[in-house]
Every structure is written in C-alpha cells, then in structure tokens.
Amino acid sequence: MIERQETNKRMSKIVKHNGTVYLCGQVGNRGDNMTEQTTECLRRIDELLAQAGSNKEQILQAIVWVADMNEFQQMNEVWDAWVPEGHAPARACGEAKLASPELKVEIIITAAYNA
C-alpha cells in the first residue's frame, strides 16, 4: 500500500511505502544566507520525518542541491551538526539552479520508518 500525505495536484510532501518514507525536496526560504537556509531546511525535514513516523537517525539517503558550490562548506557545517553521530546517510551533493533565485539549498530525503 502507498500512503500519500499533504498531497496536491503537483506533489505529495510525504509518500510512504513498504517501510520507506520519501520526502519532497525541502528548502530553507526563511533566511538570507546559507547557514540560515540550511537550518530552516533541516527543521522542516525534522517535522516531516516526525509526521511520517520516522526521524533523522533513520535517514537512508540525502540528495543536496546548492545554488553555489562556493557555499558548500557553510551548508556542511550545519549538516554535520544536525546528523547524529553514527547515522550519516548515503549522500550526494551538487550545484543546481533552484526554483527561485533567493534559494540557496534544497534537500531531498529518503528514510526508513517503523511500519
């Protein structure tokens, strides 16, 4: 069975299937710099994971898009402080033009949950 939460015509914020939860890409649009935007993005991820019955210790994979690789280190500083020791997921990071020019980071999460 597939369960979709917060669904509209374009997307679902959460999709659960067979013990895995998929989150739509999260951005940190409350902030002017990479540190603030990454912090906001991860706060939203925490909320969605909790809503899905999961948490950051159950993240399997993270795909991180940054608008400017020159800000990669600032994003990593926030990320490294957020990820629990011993629970780092498989991760990829690349540079991409994001949906709006003010956005600096978008993170896509796949995690396990207790079905």
> Domain segments of the chain: what residues?
2-112
Angstrom distances, CA of residue 84 to CA of 58, 64, 81? 10, 17, 8
What band does 114 get if pLDDT is binned at 50, 70 and 90? confident
What band does 2 get if pLDDT is binned at 50, 70 and 90? very high
- DSSP percent split of the chain into helix, strand, coil, nearest 5: 30, 35, 35
Q: Are 50 and 58 in contact (CB under 8 A)?
A: no
User: What is 2-112's CATH topology?
Assistant: 60s Ribosomal Protein L30; Chain: A; (3.30.1330)
The residues that bridge with 62 in the sheet, in sequence order, are: 91, 109
What's the average model confidence in pLDDT over 15-23? 97
pLDDT at 39 over 90: yes
Other CB atoms within 10 A of residue 56 CB: 18
| d(C-alpha 48, C-alpha 21), whole Å | 10
